[in-house]
Structure 1
Amino acid sequence: MARTSVLARAEKVEPNPTHQNVLAATARMVPEQVEVLVRTPDGGELALPAELVRILLASAGELARGHAVTVLASEVQLSPTETAELLGLSRPFVARLLDAGDIPSTNLPGSSHRVVRLADVLAFQQRRQRRREGRRQIADALDDAGLPY
Structure 2
Amino acid sequence: MTLMFELARPDASTREASSRLQRGVEEVVDSRQQHSATLVFVVDGRQVHYEVPAAVLDALLHTAREQAEGHRVRIIAPDAESEMTPNEAAGYLGISRPLLVKLLDRGTIPARNKPGSSHRMIAVADLDAYLENKTSRQNRLSDAMDTIAEQDLYLP
- Select 1:87's aligned residue among 88, 93, 96: 93
Q: Identical aligned pairs, as a percentage?
A: 29
TM normalised by structure 2 equals: 0.63
In 1, the alpha carbon distance for the partners of 2:77 and 2:99 equals: 24
- Select 1:59's aligned residue among 54, 58, 63: 63
Structure 2 residue ranges without an equivalent (≥5) = none
Q: Give the match for residue 153 of structure 2.
A: 147
How many residues are treated as equivalent by the alignment?
139
Superposition pairs of residues 36-115 of structure 1, within 5 angstroms: 36-41=37-42, 42-43=46-47, 45-59=49-63, 62-63=66-67, 67-75=71-79, 76-115=82-121
Task: Report the AA paired with residue 84 of structure 1.
Answer: A
> 1:34, 1:53 within 8 Å by CA — same for their partners in 2?
no
> 2:19, 2:64 within 8 Å by CA — same for their partners in 1?
no
C-alpha displacement at 1:87, in angstroms? 2.5
Q: RMSD over aligned Cα, in angstroms?
A: 3.7
Residues 64/120 of structure 1: CA separation in 2 closer, same or farther (3 Å cut): farther
Residues 92/11 of structure 1: CA separation in 2 closer, same or farther (3 Å cut): closer
User: Does 2:7 correspond to 1:12?
Assistant: yes
SS in 2 for 1:116: strand
Q: Give the match for residue 125 of structure 1.
A: 131
SS in 2 for 1:36: strand
Residues 34/94 of structure 1: CA separation in 2 closer, same or farther (3 Å cut): same
> 2:38, 2:51 within 8 Å by CA — same for their partners in 1?
yes
- What CA deviation, in whole Å up to 9, does each residue of 1:2-49 have, x standing for no partner? xxx976xx34154637839x47x94xx699966332214454632112
